[in-house]
Amino acid sequence: MTAEFAHFHSFRVRFAEVDAQAVVFNSRYLEYADIVLTEFMRAADVPILGPDSFEMHVVQANVQYRQPLRLDDAVEGWMRIDRIGRSSIAFEVELRPAGTAMASAVIVLHYVHVDLATGKSAEIPPMIRARLESCPAGR
């Protein structure tokens, strides 16, 4: 476990996620990052469903591909919060073959907290901010 990426979620690459060469489709890396982020929110006790859910919309996603993930690879998705602003959060996710420190992909996701009634950005509630910052991958 690395200090700056204290939260991780592991999974295995499935057949439906690869191309004819058994390499993971490029779009799947963003799906993997979303899974890791969802599990982080659960660990931080941030509500992701229901009337009290913390609503975020992605405004930017960057993926740096370094080496391919392949069919049946065991993968560790390491996550940290890069920055928390007034209404936005930047998350960084590294997807690594299990047991290694070498990232197959580095993904940076920028989200904005949204008031669904107005469709406009909103300040991150203090309770949510405190939960995010107190979780091991918070900053």
Distance from C-alpha of 8 to C-alpha of 26, rounded to nearest angstrom: 21
pLDDT of the residue at 2? 44
CATH number reported for the structural domain that contains residue 58 in this entry = 3.10.129.10
- Position 139 in a domain: no
The answer to whether residues 112 and 57 touch, using CB atoms and an 8 Å cutoff, is yes
pLDDT of the residue at 46? 95
pLDDT per residue as tens digits for the range 44-101: 999 999 888 999 999 999 999 999 999 999 999 999 999 999 999 999 999 999 999 9
- Position 83 in a domain: yes
Tell me which residue range forms the domain holding 129.
7-134
Which residue spans within the chain are E strands per DSSP? 7-12, 56-65, 74-84, 88-97, 105-115, 120-121
- Position 96 in a domain: yes
- Position 1 in a domain: no
Please check the confidence at residue 3 and state whether its pLDDT lies above 60. no
Please check the confidence at residue 16 and state whether its pLDDT lies above 60. yes
